[in-house]
């Protein structure tokens, strides 16, 4: 996540917790104080309008920023992988990716398999019997 996304994520979390306190407090008044039915309904409506709805908005804002950051990370990883493939003449192995991108071999294999599923690379065996991913880069 970049700075703005992190800031908006944090703001969303703060909104969520601040309005959660208002929401719980409004229902606490209804539950723990003797109030008339009309006042209780009004207090519950205030709790929903000024507590629950902003809480949902804060949660949604935080979720969207988290998703944006996750998507941005995937884009960066894919771009880095394609650059690595271009540097290696379009051929990569799990070991190449793991070493050059500082990720585990399991993560490298999953990333390369995903590229194969997305038709970015073909899987072939080398003369030594290693699995080689051939990318369609020029």
Question: What is the tens place of the pLDDT at every residue in 49-75?
Answer: 999 999 999 999 999 999 998 888 888
**Which residue is it, tokens 């601040």?**
18
Q: Architecture of domain 88-138 in CATH?
A: Orthogonal Bundle (1.10)
Q: How far apart are CA 138 and CA 85, in angstroms?
A: 10
Which of 121, 124, 116 minimizes the C-alpha distance to 135? 121
Residue 74 neighbours by CB distance under 10 Å = 12
How many angstroms separate the CA atoms of 126 and 49, rounded? 64
Higher pLDDT, 111 or 136: 111
Q: What's the maximum distance between 2 C-alpha atoms anywhere in the chain?
A: 84
Delimit the domains of the chain by residue range.
1-73, 88-138
pTM across the whole model: 0.62
């Amino acid at each position: 996540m970049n700075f703005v996304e992190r800031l908006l994520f944090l703001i969303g979390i703060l909104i969520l917790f601040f309005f959660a306190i208002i929401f719980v407090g409004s229902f606490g008044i209804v539950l723990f104080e003797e109030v008339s039915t009309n006042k209780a309904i009004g207090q519950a409506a205030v709790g929903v309008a000024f507590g629950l709805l902003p809480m949902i908005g804060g949660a949604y804002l935080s979720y969207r920023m988290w998703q944006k950051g996750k998507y941005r990370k995937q884009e960066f990883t894919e771009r880095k992988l394609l650059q690595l493939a271009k540097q290696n003449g379009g051929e990569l192995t799990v070991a190449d990716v793991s070493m050059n991108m500082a990720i585990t071999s399991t993560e490298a294999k999953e990333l390369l398999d995903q590229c194969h599923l997305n038709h970015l690379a073909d899987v072939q065996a080398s003369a030594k019997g290693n699995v080689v991913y051939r990318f369609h880069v020029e």
